[in-house]
Chains A and B, each alone.
Chain A
Amino acid sequence: MTISLKPSNSPQEKLQPTGWLKYLSFSLDHKVIGLQYLVCGFLFYLIGGSLAAAIRVELISPLSDFMPREVYNQVLTLHGTIMIFLWIVPVVNGAFGNYLIPFYVGARDMAFPRLNAVAFWLIPPSGLMLITSYFINGAAQSGWTAYPPLSITTPAAGQIIWILSVLLLGGSSIFGGINFIATILKLRRPGLKLMQLPMYCWAMLGTSILVVLSTPVLAGTLILLSFDIVAHTGFFNPSLGGNVIVYQHLFWFYSHPAVYIMVLPAFGLVSEILPIHSRKPLFGYTTMVFSIMGIVVLGLVVWAHHMFTSGTPPWMRLFFTIATAFIAVPTGIKFFNWVATLWGGKISLNAAMLFSCGFIINFVLGGITGVALAQVPFDVHVHDTYFVVAHFHYIVYGGSVFVIFSSIYHWFPKFTGKMLNENLGRFHFIITFIGFNLCFAPQHWLGLNGMPRRVAEYDPQFQLINQISSLGALLMAISTLPFLWNIFQSILYGDDSGDNPWHALTPEWLTSSPPPVENWEGEAPLVLEPYGYGKKDSIETQEQIK
């Protein structure tokens, strides 16, 4: 088994456009593809965020008076679908995975560069298709869960386009997953063992296993659903003898692991960021690895906790309660290990660190409400209410999106060779953190007291709390402005960052910023201790590696 570590001057590389045009091309460079994912994902985040703003405006008053009811359901469906499939999943996996994984394993690119580019280029057309479906007879309006029979009885065009688009995005996700598994397992630099890899590699390995095992089930389910809509088959249509509960089992078999597909990579990214800015080794590397794999295994057998009110037999409810609650154990280990990583460090409280610590606090709250929701008797009251809305926004926004911002602040110098403005970054964090908590914390109360989710009109007694929540949403929208200003300002006029502004030991920093095509001018460095902070010789080691 020999792997060539010399730069390969293949003709394709020479044909790639240079300059900013390369970001619009079918580039095979993993770094270009990573940034394509990131920028594309962020554009969809702005669209999904505008839809969220529309929802919060509608909910300022208890009447359905801002937009037609059908449009409201389309907006909430698109908001969920865009945020999950076009923003969080592609960015925490595709963007940072593509950019970082080849560096971490000491490779010059991903295992399958063409498959990688195909996986990215499936995303913009399917995203545009999804959004334009609004102008063709209306977008899908049965929620991102698309439960039949509602998804069979609502206008077919929008629902079919939704299915096609999610199928393409699922395909993109599977291509990416296969590529990550192959790269991490087969493209490691000789001499580098699995247990010496940075933690993000383990997170991506676990996530990719989940992607490859569960996404095909979603694809199969949606194809059957499209048969029910187009060919009037009766898989899930009760009036033709179908069973609507079967759809829910199949759907959640993917969509619960999808939560881990959104948060496990985020866990990995935080595990890279915390040690660098607190100048300490990652605490408990081995337990971190086992807890990731524990989450992967448990994550596959908990799906029916989304169905406690659907009509499931008692033994099944009990099994899924216990299994779900036990996910708290490996997750808890990770959180304690992160706090232990901070303990005794020399912490720089920059924007990257603030967002990571904000993530820890938000996610702990989301995790606690998650364990509560896993308890059948608790869930039957708050299932399908704003309590659940609050819970999963604490997981996916307070968790994953905070980590995405943290990662952008952390790796921006690597991407561009420029520093971001730290004060503007801290300002961005403060507004985001306050706005986020103001928006979602009160929703716990709304759910407990009787406000169901996905409604355009509600009991007038909930108006004040909804207005507070909408105010929080306004702050979240405003918080995007200093961030965007910071990015554009820094790309144009930012200070030079040098190659390694954080004095980090992980391999992506041991090359120039931004890195050259194929990552290193010479041979790839062999980094056996990516978290070797605090050793007397760590700085010298770093110099030697260079």
Chain B
Amino acid sequence: MPKLSAILTLTSSLILGVGGVWIAYNVDMLPVSASMNAPVYDELYRVLFIIGCILFIGMTALVIYSLIQFRRKPGETGDGINLEGNISLEIFWTAVPAIVVLFVGLYSYDIYDRMGGMQPLMHDHGGQMDNQTERVWGGIGSGPIVSSSTKNSSSLPIELTAMQFAFIFHYPKENIISGELHVPVGREVSLKMESKDVIHAFWVPQFRLKQDVIPGQPTILNFTPTKAGNFPIVCAELCGPYHGGMRSNVIVDEQEDFDNWLKENSKESI
């Protein structure tokens, strides 16, 4: 009998593990990925999803199994077994979650590093950052995500001013002011953000990035779009009655189209 139960336990754990992986690879709940750190994010998401599925399905199955297997049959009296604990079992289910959590923590640290979270801030923000006394906080992705393809091109500095209830983008070199964010594919954008009134948040779900836009405290967010298209910019911090309507668009163009857009608009502004 002990042999049989061991085989059953092993088989069900195996099915559970394979099932978890299968679900994580077949249930896709994320929107399109359109920035350089989005695939990195999706990798972390998938690992967390696998672990989550295994744990959730496993625990639910255990609870439901216990309720059915150990239910009181009609007419049955008396108590269950007098079992007050089992030290080795308890050590086991302290150690296993500790190892899983440690793995998840270290892995997400690695992901964080790959997204550029641990790198010091760049101090070449379009010549705006020379004043060393100014404190700027970086969001995740604040450091440059260096890859061979983007190494040579410098980042595109853009300033974002948020106010109730709009995002205003300013291109300092061309002196363009726009209500929508236009960026080229494949070039790193360095967004310096500050709010005029209350706290807002800049969020592009397809970029998997979010950073609060804070009054009195500039923040920086760097990202590299990888897919041309039109994606929503959403304010994610309650900012007043029209919070839900505080939306804009980021238009990711091919380099050529972006250059044209810059040319047209800088002419108009002159």
Contacts and interface: CB of A to CB of B under 8 A. Distances in A.
A244 B215 contact: yes
Given A287-B94, A347-B72, A365-B56, A142 B66 contact: no
Nearest to B91: A287
A143 interface: yes
Contact of B105 (A309, A325, A353): A325
Nearest to A290: B94
A475 to B, nearest CB: 20
Interface in A371-390: 371-372, 375-378, 380-381, 383-385
B245 interface: yes
A357 B210 CA distance: 37
Interface residues of A, number: 99
Nearest to A282: B84
Interface in B45-74: 45, 48, 51-52, 55-56, 59-60, 62-63, 66-67, 70-72
Contacts of B219: 311
A312 B140 contact: no
Contacts of A242: 216
A453 B238 CA distance: 8
A457 B244 contact: yes
Interface string A140-153: 01110001011001
Contacts of B211: 309, 311, 380
B199 A149 contact: yes
A518 B112 CA distance: 58
A219 B64 CA distance: 44
A459 B31 CA distance: 14
Contact of B59 (A335, A380, A459, A538): A335
Interface stretch (B144-152, B200-208, B262-270): B200-208
Interface residues of B, number: 80
Interface string B26-52: 000111000000001100110010011
B79 interface: yes
Interface stretch (B7-15, B228-236, B253-261): B228-236
Given A287-B94, A309-B210, A450-B232, A531 B84 contact: yes
A311 B139 contact: yes
Nearest to B48: A372
A490 interface: no
Given A371-B104, A377-B108, A384 B237 contact: yes
Contact of A381 (B101, B209, B237): B209
A309 B108 contact: no
Contacts of B134: none
Contacts of A314: 112, 117-118, 138
A500 interface: no
B242 interface: yes
Given A339-B62, A444-B29, A533 B79 contact: yes
B115 interface: yes
A244 B238 CA distance: 14
B98 A534 contact: no
Interface stretch (A41-49, A92-100, A316-324): A316-324
B235 A452 contact: yes
Nearest to A373: B48
Nearest to A68: B241
Interface in B140-183: 140
A491 interface: no
A454 B104 CA distance: 30
Nearest to A343: B66
Given A339-B66, A372-B48, A535-B79, 5 more contacts: A238-B216, A328-B97, A332-B93, A360-B63, A384-B201
Interface of B: 29-31, 40-41, 44-45, 48, 51-52, 55-56, 59-60, 62-63, 66-67, 70-72, 76, 78-86, 89-90, 93-94, 97-98, 101, 104-105, 108-109, 111-112, 115, 117-118, 137-140, 197-199, 201, 203, 205, 208-212, 214-217, 219, 232, 234-245
| A-B complex: 3 closest residue pairs judged by Cβ atoms | A238-B216, A455-B244, A534-B82
10 contacts: A64-B245, A150-B240, A245-B214, A284-B86, A318-B109, A321-B109, A326-B98, A340-B89, A384-B203, A449-B29
